[in-house]
Amino acid sequence: MRKTLSYDTTKKAEVIPISEDLKKIVAESKVKNGTLIAYSLHTTLGLMIQEAVEQYLCEDIIDQLTKIVDDDGEKYKHTCARHPSGTCKNDDVNGPSHIRQLLCNQNVLIDIKDGEMNLGRWQDVAILEFDGPRKERKILVKIVED
């Protein structure tokens, strides 16, 4: 079973919890024992398992990633317009957004046990937007029965 989740983001950088959406997909699948695979279909949008419903932690994450990979345009060479396909005209410097995504995770793997996601007490799944606001940011979700 394969499904795509889509989110409109509203800020340059933000964390949006999506565990509730994943729970619905698991329930729909009727899979009792299996594995959920989910991954971001974008290069500036991450996916993580963290204490993601605690909004202050999410702010700390964004703050620290912005400190670790700073926004000083002088340092970065990448623009989307430099992609060899030539199909992107955007010459904004968004290298930092890509590198922040690389430092985080891009996929999650979750065991499904007795029809539920087998996560720890404080674990939730969330997307990490690093280059918003953007419309229709997509996460592919796949459930494979054991």
Residue with tokens 């949006």: 16
Nearer to its own copies, 21 or 39 (CB): 39
Shortest spacing between CB 118 and its own copies, in angstroms: 6
Please provide the distance, in angstroms rounded to a whole number, between the alpha carbons at the two ends of the chain. 13
Residues 6 or more apart in contact with residue 25 via CB below 8 angstroms: 1, 3, 5, 36, 141, 143
- For residue 66, state whether it binds its own copies (rule: CB under 8 A): no
Structure tokens at 47: 């996916």
The secondary structure of 37-55 as a DSSP string is: EEEESSSSEEEEEESTT-H
Q: Are 129 and 19 in contact (CB under 8 A)?
A: no
Shortest spacing between CB 48 and its own copies, in angstroms: 6
- For residue 71, state whether it binds its own copies (rule: CB under 8 A): no
Out of 19, 21, 105, 134, name the contact with its own copies by CB under 8 A: 105
- For residue 24, state whether it binds its own copies (rule: CB under 8 A): no
Calpha distance 119→105 (Å, rounded)? 17
Nearer to its own copies, 12 or 79 (CB): 79
Out of 14, 29, 50, 132, name the contact with its own copies by CB under 8 A: 50
The footprint of its own copies (CB under 8 A) covers: 2, 35, 37, 39-43, 48-51, 53-57, 59-61, 63-64, 68-69, 75-80, 82-84, 95, 98-99, 101-111, 113, 118-120, 122-123, 138, 140, 142, 144, 146
